[in-house]
């Protein structure tokens, strides 16, 4: 595996997504495993896929695991259905799913605040057969506005993420401009300015976008970055994306936020999937 140049790594703040890495371990063991691998920050998809409002014991258990591991939670998805799986968000899906999203907003925001997490990610949701897309977009805006206001209450940004057509053919936000347009609509509606773009370089590359151009245009409006190599969604160096160059370009454009490692470890334990990153570059400074 190609190593990540130390001079490039030294300029970044990396965190580990515990919903795609270390998944061979029970949820409550993953924060300590990330710490043992040298990381000081983690992020998560909403971990209770069947429950937007888990009981206090579940929330307290995860909070304690994160605190005991000595890592910071720097990003948390709002309820989005089954991830990984066929669901791609809930907030634009009429009926029970959007109601579950709304029920989750305060629960997720308060959990995030209790751990000092300042980024909440809202996946838009798939198109639904027989439902007017305009109706879904109206519902989405209503729910995103509510989420942005709650995020503001706890001192957090609300992130809007684009996915890719090949893996999420029914998800409507499959380009950087589409994601930015939603960010703009939310900020216009709330006047808070805390909606930000989640720039996932893997998804954008899968859509064939010009990544340097995306970075130059949207770095200033980006609240979080996620990476995986392409093809394969593996660790940097397993594919052909010039991730060191792209992250360097982001820094030159003023981005100083977190870079989430959201890749598949392959046929090995997750702890062995970080050989590309010098040990001294894993702890955020």
Confirm if 91 and 123 have CB atoms less than 8 A apart: yes
Confirm if 46 and 108 have CB atoms less than 8 A apart: yes
Handedness of CA 108, 113, 116, 121 (dihedral sign): positive
Which H or E element spans position 17?
A: strand 13-17
Q: Show the tokens assigned to 56.
A: 């206090």
Catalytic position from the list 161, 188, 209, 256: 161
**Rounded distance between C-alpha atoms, residue 250 and residue 247, angstroms:** 5
Is 161 annotated as catalytic?
yes
Catalytic position from the list 135, 262, 272, 280: 262
Confirm if 271 and 33 have CB atoms less than 8 A apart: yes
The CB-based long-range contact list for 96-102 (8 Å cut-off, 24+ gap) reads: 97/125, 98/125, 98/139, 98/143, 100/52, 101/52, 101/143, 102/143, 102/146
Is 96 annotated as catalytic?
no
Active-site residues: which are they?
Answer: 161, 262
């Amino acid at each position: 595996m190609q190593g990540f140049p130390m001079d490039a790594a030294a300029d970044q703040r990396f965190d580990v997504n515990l919903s795609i890495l270390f998944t061979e371990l029970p949820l409550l063991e993953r924060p300590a495993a990330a710490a043992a691998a040298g990381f000081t920050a983690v992020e998560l998809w909403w971990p209770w896929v069947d429950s937007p409002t888990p009981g206090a014991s579940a929330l307290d258990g995860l909070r304690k695991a994160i605190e005991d591991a000595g890592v910071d939670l720097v990003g948390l998805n709002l309820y989005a259905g089954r991830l990984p799986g066929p669901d791609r968000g809930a907030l634009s899906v009429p009926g029970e799913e959007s109601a579950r999203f709304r029920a989750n907003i305060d629960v997720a925001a308060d959990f995030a605040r209790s751990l000092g997490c300042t980024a909440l990610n809202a996946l838009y949701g798939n198109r639904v057969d027989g439902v007017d897309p305009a109706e879904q977009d109206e519902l989405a805006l209503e729910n995103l506005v509510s989420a942005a206001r709650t995020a503001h209450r706890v001192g957090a940004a609300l992130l809007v993420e684009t996915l890719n057509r090949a893996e999420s053919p029914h998800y409507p936000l499959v380009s950087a401009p589409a994601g930015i347009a939603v960010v703009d609509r939310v900020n216009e509606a709330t006047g808070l300015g805390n909606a930000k773009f989640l720039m996932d370089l893997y998804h954008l590359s899968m859509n064939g976008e010009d990544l340097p151009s995306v970075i130059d245009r949207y770095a200033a409006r980006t609240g979080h970055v996620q990476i995986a190599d392409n093809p394969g969604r593996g660790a940097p160096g397993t594919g052909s994306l010039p991730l060191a160059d792209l992250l360097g370009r982001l820094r030159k454009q003023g981005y100083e936020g977190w870079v989430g490692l959201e890749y598949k470890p392959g046929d090995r334990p997750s702890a062995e999937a970080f050989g590309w990153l010098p040990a001294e570059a894993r702890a955020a400074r």
